[in-house]
Structure 1
Amino acid sequence: MATESSRARSLNETRDRILGVALDVLGENPDAGMGEIATAAGVVRRTVYGHFPSRLDLIRTLTERAVAEMAAVLTEAAAAEAADVAWARFVARVWPVAHRYRVLVALRRGEFGEAIHSLLGPVDVLLADLVQRGQDGEVFARHLPAGVLSQLAYNAVFTIADSELAGGASGVRAATIASLLVLGVPEARATALSDRS
């Protein structure tokens, strides 16, 4: 019984290592293949395919993890009274997740776009609801529908996460201010919210 438990633990550790390495490898090269991921993880291709029968399965698993992490952060942050405060808290808390999973933005535009888009659906709905709340409360602009505006602001966060600004406090500050500006928050308020988050 203890042997089965250690074997299961070992399999889970290998799977987690593959996923972690895959994020790094795909972050450097979104077109990287399973062989490159296997080499970087220090395992043979067969091991990678044993855990993830296809590249799509690997991408789906990465996306599912990202969605779970982002939805949890967003749900917690959305409890703030004002929508602009909630957005700033969300960006500050989601920053490590956004930076870690930034490759999904590039992959979303490629062959796995449809699968990634469908898995990100729950996060998209939560973001649109938050932006709608901000529009209803007149803290966010109404120049676009909430669903479109939320995606633009959210993509600003991922764009900065994928840039040279990504490291440290300057990246999260830039992402918070830029996304709030996209949402129509005045610059002084966006800066103040960023400094507070």
Structure 2
Amino acid sequence: MPPESSRMRAMIETRDRILDVALDVLGENPDAGMGEIASAAGVVRRTVYDHFPSRLDLVQTLTQRAVAEITAVLTEVIDSGAQADAMWVEFIARLWPVAHRYRVLLALRRGEYGEAIHALLGPVDELLADLVKRGQDGEVFARHLPAGILSQVAYGVVFAIADSELSNGTLGARAATITSLLMLGVPETRATALVGDQPSPTALGRSQ
């Protein structure tokens, strides 16, 4: 393999490792600095800055990665043609394995990078609103809130539970799915039945 190719591959691997570590570090402390991320990744600060000139660049890249993964899953789920409440259950099952990690984006969205993150998360917000609107039109989701707001309320519940002591194991996934369905106005008996019919959560992006 040519030296240039080896060097490029090494750079990509280092960049990906920094991003993976940054998710974990920021998940524990959203205010963590670049030095803490560098230390956890086993590199010097200069290496982190070579890939991400500022903390905002790093956060934006993390957000873009999350958006790409989540929109791909949402698009597949919506294209399935299932009833909206069943679509929601499938979406949460596929999101759950990484929900605990990506929850940091909600915290960062409320901070100094809020405007930038909000703009990047736009495609996810639109797809969620579309899914909920389908459920409202099909009379399986409540209409007491506009679809855009109701979808964010239910989505936020999932991440709140992912950030709790229930985050590990199937109990957390079940609680997140049923609770979010209840927030969407699905009767408890229907929500429980839907979750009971679901297979174990599958990893988002397992093939990556």
Q: Is the 8 A contact 1:83 1:139 kept in 2?
A: yes
Deviation of residue 191 (structure 1)?
1.1
Given the two structures, how large is their TM-score scaled by the length of structure 1?
0.98
Match of 2:24 in 1: 24
1:97-125 CA deviation, whole Å, 9 max, x = no partner? 32221111111111111111110000100
Given the two structures, how large is their TM-score scaled by the length of structure 2?
0.93
Match of 1:12 in 2: 12
Q: Is the 8 A contact 1:69 1:97 kept in 2?
A: no
Match of 1:128 in 2: 129
Q: Which runs of 5+ in 2 are unaligned?
A: 199-208
Query: Is it true that 1:55 corresponds to 2:55 in the alignment?
Result: yes
**Distance across 2 between alignment mates of 1:171 and 1:112:** 29
1:111-149 CA deviation, whole Å, 9 max, x = no partner? 111111110000100000010000000000000000000
Q: Percent identity?
A: 76
Match of 2:147 in 1: 146
Match of 2:98 in 1: 97
CA RMSD of aligned residues (A): 0.9
Match of 1:2 in 2: 2
SS state at 2:145 partner: coil
**Distance across 2 between alignment mates of 1:164 and 1:106:** 18
Q: Which runs of 5+ in 1 are unaligned?
A: none
1:84-106 CA deviation, whole Å, 9 max, x = no partner? 00000000011123222111111
Q: Is the 8 A contact 1:64 1:119 kept in 2?
A: yes
SS state at 2:166 partner: helix
Deviation of residue 2 (structure 1)?
1.1
Q: Which has the higher contact order (CA 8 A, sep 6+)?
A: 2
SS state at 2:16 partner: helix
Query: Is it true that 1:178 corresponds to 2:161 in the alignment?
Result: no
**Distance across 1 between alignment mates of 2:151 and 2:143:** 11
**Distance across 1 between alignment mates of 2:7 and 2:48:** 16
SS state at 1:43 partner: coil
**Distance across 1 between alignment mates of 2:131 and 2:167:** 25
Deviates more, 1:75-84 or 1:109-118: 75-84
**Distance across 2 between alignment mates of 1:163 and 1:105:** 14
Q: Supply the AA of the counterpart residue of 2:24.
A: D
In the TM superposition, what are the counterparts of 1:39-78 in structure 2 within 5 Å?
Answer: 39-78=39-78
**Distance across 2 between alignment mates of 1:117 and 1:161:** 20
**Distance across 2 between alignment mates of 1:177 and 1:53:** 42
**Distance across 2 between alignment mates of 1:75 and 1:188:** 27
**Distance across 2 between alignment mates of 1:121 and 1:161:** 22
SS state at 1:50 partner: helix
